[in-house]
Amino acid sequence: MLNRKLRLGLLGTNCYILGDEESRHGLIIDPAAISNSIPETVTEYHLDVKYIV
């Protein structure tokens, strides 16, 4: 299980990126702010994002 917590935006809201190491399927939780960190992390982990919650 891959797990990364990002603090985004002026309020520092928490965004979580989770992924399965075998299937490379990913999930993004609470992407409340626009940030380059999200696509960079998805690329770093080679994830295929299936859900955004």
Q: Where are the domains of the chain?
A: 2-52
Q: What is the mean pLDDT of residues 31-47?
A: 94
Q: Is the pLDDT of residue 33 over 90?
A: no
Q: Is the pLDDT of residue 3 over 90?
A: yes
23 vs 31: CA distance, rounded Å: 22
Q: What is the mean pLDDT of residues 8-20?
A: 94
How high does pLDDT run on average in the chain?
95
Q: What are phi and psi of 33, to 5 degrees?
A: -130, 155
